Structure 1
Amino acid sequence: MGHSIAKVCVLGAGTMGAGIAAQVANAGVPVLLLDRTTDGPDRSIIARSALERLGKAEPAAFMSKAAARLVEVGNFDDDLGRVAECDWVIEAIVEKIEAKHALYARLEDVRRAGTAVSSNTSTIPLERLIEGRSEAFAQDFLITHFFNPPRYMRLIEVVSGARSNPDLVAAVSAFADQRLGKSVVACKDRPGFIANRVGTFWLQSAVNAAFDLGLSVEDADAIAGKPMGVPKTGIFGLVDLVGLDLMPYLKASLTASLPKDDPYQAIARDEPLILKMIADGYTGRKGKGGFYRINREAGKVKEAIDLATGTYAKARKPMSIPAVAQKDLRALLALRGKAGAYAWAVLGPTLAYAAALVGEVADDVLAIDTAMKLGYNWKYGPFELIDRIGADEVAQRLEAEGHAVPPMLKLAAGRSFYRVEGGQRQFLGLDGEYHPVTRPEGVLLLEDVKAASKPLLKNGSAALWDIGDGVVCLEFTAKMNALDGEVMTLIAQSIALVQRHYKALVVYNEGSHFSAGANLGQALFALNIAAWGEVEKLVRGGQQAYKALKYAPFPVVAAPFGMALGGGCEIVLNSDAVQAHAETYIGLVECGVGLIPGWGGCGELIQRLSENPRLPKGPMPAVAKAFETISTATVAKSAAQAQEIGFLRPSDGITMNRDRLLADAKARALAMVEGYTPPERPLFRLPGAGGRAALDLAVQDFAAKGLATPYDTVVAGKLAHVLTGGDADMADGVSEAELLALEVEQFMALVRDVRTVARIETMLATGKPLRN
């Protein structure tokens, strides 16, 4: 393609610019972050302060300390010439056309020809941005609209102009996809592009309807949140999150740039209460509160505002939505009273608006659905929602209320927007024909495999799929991908099947998280009826299954993402190799519920740490580090950090784009097939009683400082017993089997303690650890 990107410059160190710079650095690419020049000894203080804030940001902007070191700061007057060192320049300054034009004029003089220049604008059309610029600048210019926060939001909207060099646009898009981990959606040069155009309309409709119907914010969020596949924040919680002050700004921008007959113009209105809230500093979570606030004077009480009176009161439990209506959109819309009326007032106009925009903002329904799912975290895109209700039903209801039925909705009459034909997912095009949903090269999704085939093996908690080229995929399917006896059974069956007919196995799924660990609810039930034998059977069964995977005569590659905790972490540790998504949050967290790792996690972590060149040699350093990591329930906040902590080896791979994880893991597994031999069983050199005494002293010191609770010291003592080798003769070393037996012994001692039961009960009830 001829356009490689080895260094990036970001102009503007505000929230978005700084966040974009951090994500470029997370990709391992050097980045120059510039902002305005100030008087005084440090002329780059604006950019430098932004970098300092990034280092303290929560959630973290950087994936590792190494990434933070890749950002260099400067200012527009002293350092703009260094743009010539960069292959992509991203402008992220204030949304004022005059300021952007002035900066572009200066850029023309310093950038290398052929260097990509893009704006992170969300409101200004591309054609206006390049007014007065040279033909060469126009050819190298595009819009790359990131979403906030840039590390965590997967969507990037890419807009190219009539004169943009298609090769350059393709190179930037490929970099954004493969290196920055973004899902690229090509948009037309229209106001608000896709996500903010539909999203602003949706939020405005929802806020208007809540005021008009006299609904409380709690009830509105309950109706227009989870049942619609919207994040649990709901409408008002989401506005609090992004900031109330953003709404009038987006409204002003869209009303000024959209045609007068656009449906948004008819619903755009300012609520006096919201304007007053903004004026008083109630701009949402970044301000004194918003529609919800935490009243610290009353002892951290969550309060909600009354939309009629503007007064705050303790947030109350919202109206009850029937179980069927929480899962079936048609049932939700059919509810009598305010619930059904509000659901339609939000969905009806929004879905009609999205349907009217096909061809206007994007070429197909797929782009609009992808933008809304990734830009606003919707579970289903607008056209997937229409399919769940029925296109005919939506059209009939719009018609009955005197609203125009968009041509795209009429086109779908009697059909759905999506279908699976011959194992291939297809979407309805503007031409009235179905077209295949195609994936970029290097993207393999389990949902596509599942549409085209049946599982090789399946039970209530797991399934095994053939993903081609002799590789199979083990998928967890229980809630939160929790692990239980059925998963262990399927692992055993899978190993036998792969041995006979396949080459390698990948552990992967497409849930929200890889696995939250063992099924605690099931464990608690067994503890409450004192079924100790069943608990021990589960622990031993897990050890056997995981070790059978580790020593199988074929490669096993784990592909974790999101949370990989407890038993979810242990299956990763027992795999031959790991291909982790960059956003993997991995840890052995059992001590938080009064337990210790029981499925081989102790030995596996010691082994990894003993191979770590950063730690001194000898039995104690690896054991001390493992003890610290496990006893404090440390969770890595990224795959890069997991390598620093020791959960992942330096040789394990990291994939930035979630959609590329399965293909990368499969490729890694295939590369290991030829000449593969299982690992040798380790013999551990552990520090014994002397090492245990040192660990006990450290725990007592923590307890004396109030950093460890009384039961923490008990749990830590059991952990220390395992990690130091129990009562084994240190001269002979400790075999893996002996270490596993120690895990079972100490695990079973802890489950019999009522304080562990109390911790598990609290975790299940509140999601928070009990500090007993």
Structure 2
Amino acid sequence: MAEATDSPVKEAAVLGAGVMGAAIAAHLANAGVTVHLLDIVPEGAKDRDTVAKTAIQKLLKQDPAPFTHKRNAKRVQPGNIEDHLDRLASCDWIVEAVIERLDIKQALYRRLDEKRKPGSVVSSNTSTIPLAALTDGMPDTFRRDFLITHFFNPPRYMRLLELVAGPDTRPDAVAAIEAFGDRGLGKSVVHCNDTPGFIANRIGIYWLTASIVHAQEMGVGIEEADAVIGRPFGIPKTGVFGLMDLVGLDLMPHVMGSMREALPKHDPFHAIDRELPVVRQMIEAGYTGRKGKGGFYRINREGGGKAKEVVSLDDFTYSPVTRPKPDCLEAARHGGVAALLQSPDKVAAYARKVMGATLAYAAYLVPEVHDDPAAIDEAIRLGYNWKQGPFELIDAIGAANLAQALKAEEQPVPAFLQQIGDGSFYRTVDGELQVFRADGQYHTVRRADGVLRLADVKRRGKPVVKNGSASLWDLGDGIACLEFHTKMNAIDNKIMEMIHTAIATVPKSFKALVIHNEGSNFSAGANLGLAMFAANIAAWDQIEQMVEGGQTAYRALKYAPFPVIGAPSGMALGGGCEVLLHCDAVQAHMETYMGLVEPGVGVVPAWGGCTEMLARYAANPKLPKGPMPPTGKAFETISVATVAKSAEEAKQHGFLRESDRITMNRDRVLADAKALALELAEGYQPPEKPEYVLPGPSGKVALDLAVDSFRQQGKTTLHDLTVADKLGEVLSGGDADMTEPKGEDFLLALERKAFMELVKTEPTLQRIEHMLETGKPLRN
């Protein structure tokens, strides 16, 4: 869990236990804060706290989970607004998340202002009501402590926090919430002007509206629209209509209505604002998206089937999805979004219409919503999960090209776009990233204090050494960084080569090594494609060399004459998890998802995963002494391919040690890992080689009995039993005598043997092939 000891927020309250309020409370609890969740008392309720209590129970059942660990729910104290406003007297921060009605919010503010402690910060999670309206008529003391903190749903996972301060807000109140939002909650805090929709929703709602309106008017199907307004532009694979299903169609009329009322008449939003009869029909029929019977997409389960269908925007009828591949997608594969937009087909014309207008709108809003395009890009990247923000996309297309396309559509070219001319909004000068701002000048893009980004390091210099799969970088102060950069950061022979190169290079010029990358995922594991290719030509010696080579490289990391720090974020699965198991320490982003998933593809962990997990569990003081408890626990964890869904859970499962550290903000992981590396470098000594006491044949019998009980319950497939049998041989030590301790070499040999026996079986090859084709495990 995150520690709150040095935090400006140690106790908080959330008023309003709806979807957002409850989830905000959960994330405050993830940050180590005691939080009071208060809501109304329903008429005639026997339990006056029932709304808040019910909300907490729903949080515990949600997937993805709002809590980084279920135990954090104990920090959320339920209550009600009628009986428990006195609790505000001990709160540092009070978050209002009630219905979007000004009269209700202000009435609540007057009541809570009488109870809160002096100097406590009060904020609203509103996204539609201006701060000036919220504080109108409120006392000066309240206005000084008030601001808007706009979270995005779900708050645990969405990294954007929009912060709006009023002219009377105390600078130290802003600084306190910004600091806690950054370090405590893991947010990228973007300061916004007090304008309708702030930044992300102002542009995002325009984009969603333009997407559906132009699709309907141009006769472009939903699947075609999502195919083009999706991955080619670095937008999530849901595309735009899939995103609306995810968010909920019933929100669309409300958000469009709020923009319609709040925006000035000259705003370009009004030119695309339309009544959407199909959306209205869908909502009335209960098709509100994934939370309803379906939305633009639905799953048809008639006759016991499970067929995905898509709606027609013309007549509200559903038909099977066809996954079209418009011609412009081929152009995008070779020439990026610029080539896509120049394609002659109808779908490319739709993309020009939607994305051209959206990017132009972003430029139109400078400096109204912000004078810094970097802040706008940050808001859209993190609020809507785009890989690139609007101005980064304009640079990819070419500002002059976008202006020309707008003129061809007889659309106005925003002044800010005219101002940049044929230049770019971003440039690199002397290794520093600069952005063109509203004052007509380039400014260095500033990071928050204490943030270290590998991308910035890479701009400033060349790698110490590199190959096609990995690079070694100089972080300064005697710390090196090993970066993987394959697809999904899958581990291949060149990464293994770079590990050995790093081990030889670091002692000459550095004190310690950090293993880190800024990909979406730390590593998805071994490169299964290479293994499948070798298996198809029966190159078994080559596969065994790959397994042994991985064991050798990882052990070299473990016993290197300098500290090795793992600094992961995202998925660290299979071989990616095994890299971290061999590090001296790990500085993990809270959103690190670790697990030894090899049984899912029909093998056992063979790059030291079994060996290291046995050592972890043997050292766990919570387990009983003796050879069987560590073996049983390791078998339980690995056999079902357990994946920890947070760094907190990774500690529970033993993938992380209790001494390993957790960083809430992804942008701070590398800096924290570097600091830890410097700390461990003082007087460093490599770990001693452990000895293992293994239960041998009697332990294997116990594991077999456990597996047989699952078989009798119908919880295992035939090949699951085969994989479990080989895993049991490794973890029990095979024929080992439990009176004779064994070294790592013995266990690693068992790992290799089990892996090679399994990889030669047809069911394992079927599992690997299925995973490569679908990305999902095969149960055979």
Q: Aligned partners of 2:32, 2:222: CA distance in 1, in Å?
A: 43
**1:610 is the counterpart of 2:618:** yes
Q: CA deviation at 1:322?
A: 3.7
Which amino acid in structure 1 is aligned with residue 159 of structure 2? R
Of 199, 204, 212, 1:207 maps to 212
Q: CA deviation at 1:309?
A: 1.9
1:239-274 residue CA offsets vs partner (Å, 9 max, x unmatched): 111111111101111111110111111211111111
Of 547, 550, 558, 1:542 maps to 550
Q: SS at 2:195's partner residue?
A: coil
| TM-score scaled by length of structure 2 | 0.98
Q: Are the counterparts in 1 of residues 152 and 383 from structure 2 also a CA contact under 8 Å?
A: yes
Q: CA deviation at 1:696?
A: 0.7
**1:498 is the counterpart of 2:506:** yes
Counterpart residue number, 1:34: 38
Q: Aligned partners of 1:337, 1:631: CA distance in 2, in Å?
A: 51
Q: CA deviation at 1:324?
A: 3.1
**1:325 is the counterpart of 2:332:** yes
Counterpart residue number, 1:272: 277
Counterpart residue number, 2:256: 251
Q: Are the counterparts in 2 of residues 3 and 168 from structure 1 also a CA contact under 8 Å?
A: no
Of 77, 81, 86, 2:86 maps to 81
Q: Are the counterparts in 1 of residues 232 and 329 from structure 2 also a CA contact under 8 Å?
A: no
Q: Aligned partners of 2:641, 2:404: CA distance in 1, in Å?
A: 55
Q: CA deviation at 1:66?
A: 2.3
1:309-331 residue CA offsets vs partner (Å, 9 max, x unmatched): 21101111213344332451111
Counterpart residue number, 1:170: 175
Q: CA deviation at 1:439?
A: 0.5
Which amino acid in structure 1 is aligned with residue 253 of structure 2? P
Q: Aligned partners of 1:486, 1:3: CA distance in 2, in Å?
A: 43
Counterpart residue number, 1:652: 660
Q: Are the counterparts in 2 of residues 154 and 374 from structure 1 also a CA contact under 8 Å?
A: yes
Q: CA deviation at 1:404?
A: 2.0
Of 12, 15, 19, 2:16 maps to 12
Q: Are the counterparts in 2 of residues 392 and 413 from structure 1 also a CA contact under 8 Å?
A: yes
Q: Are the counterparts in 1 of residues 220 and 347 from structure 2 also a CA contact under 8 Å?
A: no
**1:741 is the counterpart of 2:746:** no
Q: SS at 2:82's partner residue?
A: helix
Which amino acid in structure 2 is aligned with residue 64 of structure 1? H
Q: Are the counterparts in 1 of residues 695 and 736 from structure 2 also a CA contact under 8 Å?
A: no
Q: CA deviation at 1:401?
A: 3.0
Q: Aligned partners of 1:515, 1:83: CA distance in 2, in Å?
A: 44
Which amino acid in structure 2 is aligned with residue 354 of structure 1? A
| TM-score scaled by length of structure 1 | 0.99
Of 458, 461, 467, 1:459 maps to 467
1:506-559 residue CA offsets vs partner (Å, 9 max, x unmatched): 011000100000000110000111101110110000001000000000000001
Q: Aligned partners of 2:329, 2:21: CA distance in 1, in Å?
A: 44
Q: Are the counterparts in 2 of residues 119 and 142 from structure 1 also a CA contact under 8 Å?
A: yes
**1:300 is the counterpart of 2:303:** no
Which amino acid in structure 1 is aligned with residue 245 of structure 2? D
Q: Are the counterparts in 2 of residues 89 and 117 from structure 1 also a CA contact under 8 Å?
A: yes
Of 559, 573, 579, 2:567 maps to 559
The answer for unaligned runs of 5 or more in structure 1 is none
Which amino acid in structure 2 is aligned with residue 636 of structure 1? A
Counterpart residue number, 1:98: 103
Which amino acid in structure 2 is aligned with residue 254 of structure 1? M
Counterpart residue number, 1:664: 672
Of 219, 222, 225, 2:227 maps to 222
1:657-684 residue CA offsets vs partner (Å, 9 max, x unmatched): 0000000111111100111000000000
1:313-352 residue CA offsets vs partner (Å, 9 max, x unmatched): 1111213344332451111111113122101111111111
Which amino acid in structure 2 is aligned with residue 9 of structure 1? A
Counterpart residue number, 2:580: 572
1:365-386 residue CA offsets vs partner (Å, 9 max, x unmatched): 0111000000000111000011
Q: Are the counterparts in 1 of residues 29 and 76 from structure 2 also a CA contact under 8 Å?
A: yes
Q: Are the counterparts in 1 of residues 7 and 184 from structure 2 also a CA contact under 8 Å?
A: no
Q: Aligned partners of 1:610, 1:95: CA distance in 2, in Å?
A: 54
Which amino acid in structure 2 is aligned with residue 578 of structure 1? V
Pairwise mapping of residues 195-594 of structure 1 onto structure 2 (< 5 A)? 195-298=200-303, 299-320=305-326, 321-326=328-333, 328-594=336-602
Q: CA deviation at 1:728?
A: 2.5
Q: CA deviation at 1:3?
A: 8.5
Counterpart residue number, 1:706: 714
Of 120, 123, 126, 1:118 maps to 123
Which amino acid in structure 2 is aligned with residue 160 of structure 1? A
Identity of aligned residues (%): 58
1:358-417 residue CA offsets vs partner (Å, 9 max, x unmatched): 110112101110000000001110000110111111112223333222121111112100
Q: Aligned partners of 2:338, 2:759: CA distance in 1, in Å?
A: 46
Q: SS at 1:684's partner residue?
A: coil
1:425-470 residue CA offsets vs partner (Å, 9 max, x unmatched): 1000112211101101111001101111111111111111111111
Q: Aligned partners of 2:7, 2:478: CA distance in 1, in Å?
A: 35
Q: Aligned partners of 2:645, 2:358: CA distance in 1, in Å?
A: 36
Of 721, 726, 733, 1:725 maps to 733
Q: Aligned partners of 1:223, 1:714: CA distance in 2, in Å?
A: 44
Which amino acid in structure 1 is aligned with residue 61 of structure 2? K
**1:51 is the counterpart of 2:56:** yes
Q: Aligned partners of 1:596, 1:65: CA distance in 2, in Å?
A: 29
